[in-house]
């Protein structure tokens, strides 16, 4: 994931981050189904989506902790 992508994800509001997270999880579920039915062309994309989900969750948790400490 490029630095520019991470900065755009970090700038998302909580509601937008939750929507993006739900969208990525749904996409990951469909990709897993395609992989098991051997319809998937790009197997690496699943890894990229999982990393993107982790980054979004990390930024959400960081924002949550900064709000608690203030």
Q: Give residue-wise pLDDT tens across range 16-36.
A: 999 999 999 999 999 999 888
Q: Which long-range contacts (CB under 8 A, 24 or more apart) does 60-65 make?
A: 60/14, 60/17, 60/18, 60/21, 63/14
For residue 63, name the pLDDT band (cuts at 50, 70, 90). Answer: very high
Q: Does residue 68 register a pLDDT over 90?
A: no
- Cβ-contact 31, 49 below 8 angstroms: yes
Q: Give residue-wise pLDDT tens across range 8-17.
A: 989 999 999 9
pLDDT attached to residue 69: 83
Mean pLDDT, all residues of the chain: 91
């Amino acid at each position: 994931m490029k630095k520019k992508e991470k900065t755009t994800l970090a700038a998302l509001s909580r509601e937008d981050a939750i929507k993006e997270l739900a969208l990525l999880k749904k996409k990951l579920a469909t990709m897993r189904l395609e992989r098991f039915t051997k319809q998937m062309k790009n197997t690496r994309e699943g890894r990229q989506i999982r990393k993107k989900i982790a980054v979004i969750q990390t930024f959400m948790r960081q924002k949550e902790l900064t709000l608690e400490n203030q």
